[in-house]
Amino acid sequence: MPGFLADLTGSFATSAAQNPTVAIMEAAYQHAGLDVRYINCEVPPERLGDAVRGAIGMGWLGFNCSIPHKIAILDYLDALAPSAEIIGAVNCVINDNGRLTGENTDGQGFVNALRTLIDPRGKRFVILGAGGAARAIAVESALAGASHVEIVNRTASRGEELAALIAARTGATAGFTHWTGPYAVPAGTDVVVNATSIGFYPSTDTPDVDYATIEPGMVVADVVANPPDTEFLQKAKARGAEPLQGLGMLVNQAMTNARLWTGRDLNADVMRQALEDNL
């Protein structure tokens, strides 16, 4: 007998209209034969509490929260996963019968995507940017065993704070470089990440890097998922580096969210295809 009561998941953000996650999640739930829905909700800051209480009231499995709720959501949670506590931001909430746990799966998605190319243990990272994505990536990479994380940022205070956090709360060493001109990637760097919004569609700008210092064998990653093959990655490829697209991070993050909510591993290829169809 078919059931008529689906399990619910979704996202709270504003603005929500351009977020393609619903397309990825629904395609993958359907492919796995799961009776689970993903509802994309427009939630302004003053309604976040109502939305959270609604999700509890309706017994949602959990939800994502995106801009501008990733820090504000902390006020509504009962527990935080260890890396989310260090990062100080949450993008995935799991509802266990009204008890809410916060996770940050942005950085986990990045590290899982990175692992398809390289083991982060003992590696030296350069991270361009010190915003939300950079913070999650820096913390997870350090917790995954990176030996050194160099933060490169235009605004010194933000970059210094992130480098200090990595040094204080993880096993990695950390440094900060103030980004004031073309950045020369230090010899011996294994992974370079553009964790800024530079290059997001329709822009074709590239981060201000001295591309001659990118060497064959380095992994060069972009958080920008649209377009998937950014100018930054193309320039790095031309230097012989191995590229890692932001799409991989997005798909891996969605996989982790689904696992936390349903306990199931969804199909990454189905997710990637749904994303490409919707970009």
Cβ neighbours of 56 (radius 10 Å): 15
Among 103, 106, 150, 190, indicate the residue that binds ligand NDP (CB under 6 A).
106
Answer for the pair 221, 153: CB distance below 8 angstroms, yes or no: no
Structure tokens at 138: 């820096």
Using Cβ positions, the residue closest to ligand NDP within the complex turns out to be: 131
Tell me the number of residues near ligand NDP by CB under 6 A.
23
CB of 4 to ligand NDP, least distance (A): 34
85, with CB counted inside 10 A (0-12, 13-18, 19+), is: middle
Q: Which stretch binds ligand NDP (CB under 6 A): 1-9, 44-52, 77-85, 128-136?
A: 128-136
Q: Which one-letter amino acid corresponds to residue 19? A: N
Q: What are the phi and psi torsion angles at 103 (to 5°)?
A: -125, 155
How distant, in Å, are the alpha carbons of 11, 40, 130, 188, 217 from that of 192?
30, 33, 14, 11, 11
C-alpha dihedral sign at 21, 24, 26, 28:
negative
Q: What are the phi and psi torsion angles at 148 (to 5°)?
A: -145, 140
Among 86, 133, 146, 192, indicate the residue that binds ligand NDP (CB under 6 A).
133
123 is catalytic: no
Q: Residue 176: beta bridge partners?
A: 151
| Region 139-198 residues binding ligand NDP, contact defined as CB under 6 A | 153-155, 158, 196-198
Rank residues 197 and 240 by Cβ distance to ligand NDP and give the closer one: 197
Residues 224-263, one symbol each (x = binds ligand NDP by CB under 6 A, - = not), give xx--------------------x--xx--x----------
Rank residues 1 and 20 by Cβ distance to ligand NDP and give the closer one: 20
Q: What are the phi and psi torsion angles at 253 (to 5°)?
A: -65, -40
CB of 265 to ligand NDP, least distance (A): 18
Answer for the pair 261, 126: CB distance below 8 angstroms, yes or no: no
CB of 209 to ligand NDP, least distance (A): 11
Rank residues 19 and 147 by Cβ distance to ligand NDP and give the closer one: 19
CB of 246 to ligand NDP, least distance (A): 4
Q: How far apart are CA 108 and CA 200, in angstroms?
A: 21
Structure tokens at 12: 């709270």
Rank residues 154 and 169 by Cβ distance to ligand NDP and give the closer one: 154
> Which of 70, 123, 235, 237 is flagged as catalytic?
70
Catalytically active residues are 70
Binding footprint of ligand NDP on the chain (CB under 6 A) = 106, 109, 129-134, 153-155, 158, 196-198, 200, 223-225, 246, 249-250, 253
